[in-house]
A and B are shown apart, each in its own frame.
Chain A
Amino acid sequence: DGGITQSPKYLFRKEGQNVTLSCEQNLNHDAMYWYRQDPGQGLRLIYYSQIVNDFQKGDIAEGYSVSREKKESFPLTVTSAQKNPTAFYLCASGQGDLSGANVLTFGAGSRLTVL
């Protein structure tokens, strides 16, 4: 089955530690996205990548970093510079123009808690 796999599903981190969230897709999508969701809030865009070896900052990129070395993979690192990293992180992929039939497919999410 084609889809997006995020891991880990739950993660606990001590303050000051970096942590990397994995996102893998086998949908052959060119574009991949990372969103953050806080309780009772909508999704906010952290980073996105429309092609391998290229990525752009979203609305809340500070304290995060990404890489896109392979089409299938778009890992997100939450660095110690991120002041409030506890949140639900969602990875998504899409193919080209997102209008109409080409919509985003989401992974099941990673829930990060900083202790």
Chain B
Amino acid sequence: RKEVEQDPGPFNVPEGATVAFNCTYSNSASQSFFWYRQDCRKEPKLLMSVYSSGNEDGRFTAQLNRASQYISLLIRDSKLSDSATYLCVVLNNAGNMLTFGGGTRLMVKP
């Protein structure tokens, strides 16, 4: 089993749609969780951290379920510019190593 698993997609959605991605992780001692965004042929960039209580940043909402070992990302009112690959990232319990999921590709269509 991979340490961090994501549905690779692609998720094809129309503009304005709400879309959700899930990610599961295998190490129950993992400390912190993040979503990164990666545009085609570019470097990943931090989208948001994921806090235990759930957190929201504009149209983006991230949630963590430690009991079931999954995290989620919800995007509301999708824009064309949201088209990218979203990487689920897990920090180990030592706080010095990030493990990346394979990414979920999102394509927002007009």
Residues of B bordering A, CB below 8 Å: 4, 6, 8, 31-32, 34, 41-46, 49, 87, 91, 95-103
Contact = CB atoms under 8 A, between A and B. Distances in A.
B110 to A, nearest CB: 25
B100 A43 contact: yes
B96 A50 contact: yes
13 contacts: A35-B100, A42-B87, A42-B102, A43-B87, A44-B100, A48-B97, A90-B43, A98-B32, A103-B49, A104-B98, A107-B43, A108-B42, A108-B43
A31 B91 CA distance: 15
Interface of A: 31, 35, 40-45, 48, 50, 88, 90, 96-100, 103-104, 106-109, 111
B57 to A, nearest CB: 14
Main secondary structure of the interface of A (DSSP, over half): loop
A97 B41 CA distance: 28
Contact of B95 (A42, A99, A104, A111): A99
Contact of B8 (A40, A97, A107): A40
A88 B47 CA distance: 21
A57 to B, nearest CB: 12
Contacts of B34: 103
